[in-house]
Amino acid sequence: MGTTYRFLATVDEASSVLDWFRLLPEEPVESAHDAGVLFHFREFGPLDSDAKTSPLVSVFMPLRKRSVLTTIGEVHFLATPVSTFPALNRINKRFRDWLKENPCVYSHRPDFEHAWDYFLEGSAKNWDSDIFALPAGMAALKDGSYFVAADDNEVQLDRVCRALELRGIEGLSG
């Protein structure tokens, strides 16, 4: 797969990621999908049946799960390698720089201080990419909110909820 970025945000705040792409001078074509938005940078190339050979960016928006869990947002630059499209690669680097203006709350780097791991549940820590917290996401984390990976299934969420119940967390229905 191309390049993936992950971010913590509240459901309301997550639109700031979409706005970042919407305000680009390259004006990507936006299409809604189940959990977010797909941006096609048509001036860089046509769509292909294989997303890896198309100038596409997929954004998965944070969702509320089980009343107290929020999924981690994801941005995928789908072209593999993204350098296949030099202009898209420049956007990739600009997005990375913008996201890095926010605090990194999880990383696999050996020197990283894991102060927020307690609040990252399910498979949230199983992925390679760092996790950055947008301002409201960081505030939610500081207030004790829990975050899970976007693709955690119902069985994983059941496991997380049982563990959180043992910690005394209430409101895990829904």
The pLDDT tens digits along the chain (174 residues) read 689 999 999 999 999 999 999 999 999 999 998 879 999 999 999 998 999 999 999 999 999 998 889 999 999 999 999 999 999 999 999 999 999 999 999 999 999 998 999 999 888 888 878 999 999 999 999 999 999 999 999 999 989 988 898 888 876 665
- The pLDDT assigned to 79 comes to 95
**Cβ atoms of residues 79 and 52 within 8 Å:** yes
What's the first-to-final CA gap in the chain, in angstroms? 33
* pLDDT at residue 20 in the model: 98
DSSP H or E run through 37: strand 36-40
| Total-model pTM | 0.92
Exposed, middle or buried by CB within 10 Å (0-12, 13-18, 19+), for 122? buried
- Return the pLDDT at 173: 60
Please report the pLDDT score of residue 99 as a whole number: 98
Q: Cis bond leading into 86, ω under 30°?
A: no
Residue 69: per-residue pLDDT? 93
Residue 55 contacts residue 82 (beta carbons within 8 Å): no
Pairing of strands 104-106, 29-33: unpaired
Are residues 75 and 150 in contact, defined by beta-carbon separation less than 8 angstroms? no
pLDDT of residue 122: 87
How buried is residue 31: exposed, middle or buried, by Cβ count under 10 Å (0-12/13-18/19+)? exposed
The predicted structure's pLDDT at residue 90: 97
